[in-house]
């Protein structure tokens, strides 16, 4: 299934896509798409529904985050060798982990450039949504705890991340720096998460064009590895790293500015579109 939430921010309704790509209303079947709905039992109940009999939503309007109840927004850095090269970093021998402080935002919500920022950057990534608790999970069992997958734009402020000392988190956790969606595509519809093409355009120019097969550490290994350090719970999101083509890697570097438009997508998981806005607190509240 392709699960989604539609409507004004804070008042989204649960929905799903039918075979024709139309939005169907799920609010008569469940209160919301949350961590409980993403459990094996919750997903089994949803798969048992006759989607074509659900109310059709002719004009869904805004698409929000595909689910609620995310406890952890975990991210992986330097997970594509050619991105490592363009970043001028050393090849990692273990996954590089960091966190997003920001709340996830909808796939088409604006990205607000932080006050004084001149190095806000883009990163298309595969998101992995956990559906079952995973603690010290074996590698061969890791994919069994996945509820589904989604598109993530791991927006980054490179000055804050690289030049301001400390961890990467301060350059990754700014407000609006976590667009996800448009859908959560359940794992049964993604037979191989290591064979998904991905792309990102800025103002109509393609900068990123790759495939998840190029990851250094695959999805199963990342879940196994992260579960050695923290328990993963339903609703936790792992953003698995970006391929080459980020603004930092251009010669000279190119960064996002107000008025720019970013479009990105992953095969079978949908597309995002974000307009870049200057700092305005009204866009955040």
Ordered structural domains, the chain, with CATH:
2-53 (no CATH), 73-283 (3.90.850.10)
Indicate the SS3 state at residue 169. helix
The pLDDT tens digits along the chain (285 residues) read: 999 999 999 999 999 999 999 999 999 999 999 999 999 999 999 999 999 999 999 999 999 999 999 999 999 999 998 888 888 888 999 999 999 998 899 999 999 999 999 999 999 999 999 999 999 999 999 999 999 999 999 999 999 999 998 889 999 999 999 999 999 999 999 999 999 999 999 999 999 999 999 999 999 999 999 999 999 999 999 999 999 999 999 999 999 999 999 999 999 999 999 999 999 988 887
Beta bridge partners of 162: none
Secondary structure (3-state) at 60: coil
What's the residue count for the chain?
285
Question: Which pLDDT score, from 0 to 100, does residue 22 have?
Answer: 97
User: Would you say 179 and 105 are in contact if contact means Cβ atoms under 8 Å apart?
Assistant: yes
Cα distance between residue 197 and residue 50, in whole Å: 30
Phi, psi of 180, rounded to the nearest 5 degrees: -135, 155
Question: What 8-state DSSP symbol labels residue 8?
Answer: S
Task: Identify the DSSP state of 100.
Answer: -
Asked if residues 181 and 270 have their Cβ atoms less than 8 Å apart, the reply is: yes
Q: What is the largest CA-CA distance in the chain?
A: 55
End-to-end CA distance of the chain: 31
Contact residues for 264 (Cβ-Cβ < 8 A; gap 6+): 122, 124, 151, 153, 198, 199, 200, 201, 208, 271, 272
């Amino acid at each position: 299934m392709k699960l989604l939430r539609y409507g004004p921010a804070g008042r989204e309704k649960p929905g799903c896509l039918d075979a024709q790509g139309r939005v169907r209303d799920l609010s008569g079947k469940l209160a919301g798409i949350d961590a409980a709905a993403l459990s094996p039992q919750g997903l089994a109940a949803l798969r048992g529904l006759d989607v074509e009999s659900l109310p059709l939503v002719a004009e869904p309007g805004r698409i929000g985050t595909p689910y609620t109840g995310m406890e952890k927004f975990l991210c992986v850095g330097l997970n594509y060798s050619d991105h490592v090269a363009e970043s001028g970093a050393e090849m990692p021998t273990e996954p590089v982990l960091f966190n997003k402080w920001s709340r996830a935002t909808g796939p088409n919500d604006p990205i607000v450039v932080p006050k004084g920022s001149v190095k806000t950057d883009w990163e298309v990534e595969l998101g992995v949504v956990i559906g079952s608790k995973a603690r010290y999970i074996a590698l061969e069992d890791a994919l069994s705890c996945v509820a589904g997958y989604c598109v993530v734009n791991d927006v980054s402020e490179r000055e804050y991340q690289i030049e301001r000392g400390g961890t990467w988190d301060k350059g990754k956790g700014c407000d609006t720096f976590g667009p996800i969606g448009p859908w959560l595509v359940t794992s049964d519809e993604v037979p191989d998460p290591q064979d998904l093409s991905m792309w990102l355009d800025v103002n109509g120019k393609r900068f990123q064009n790759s495939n998840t097969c190029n990851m250094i550490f695959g999805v199963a290994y990342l879940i196994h590895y992260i579960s050695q350090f923290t328990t993963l719970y339903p609703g936790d999101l792992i953003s698995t790293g970006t391929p080459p083509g980020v603004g930092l890697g251009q010669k000279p570097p190119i960064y996002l500015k107000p008025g720019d438009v970013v479009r990105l997508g992953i095969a079978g998981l949908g597309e995002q579109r974000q307009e870049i806005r200057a700092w305005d607190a009204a866009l955040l509240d």
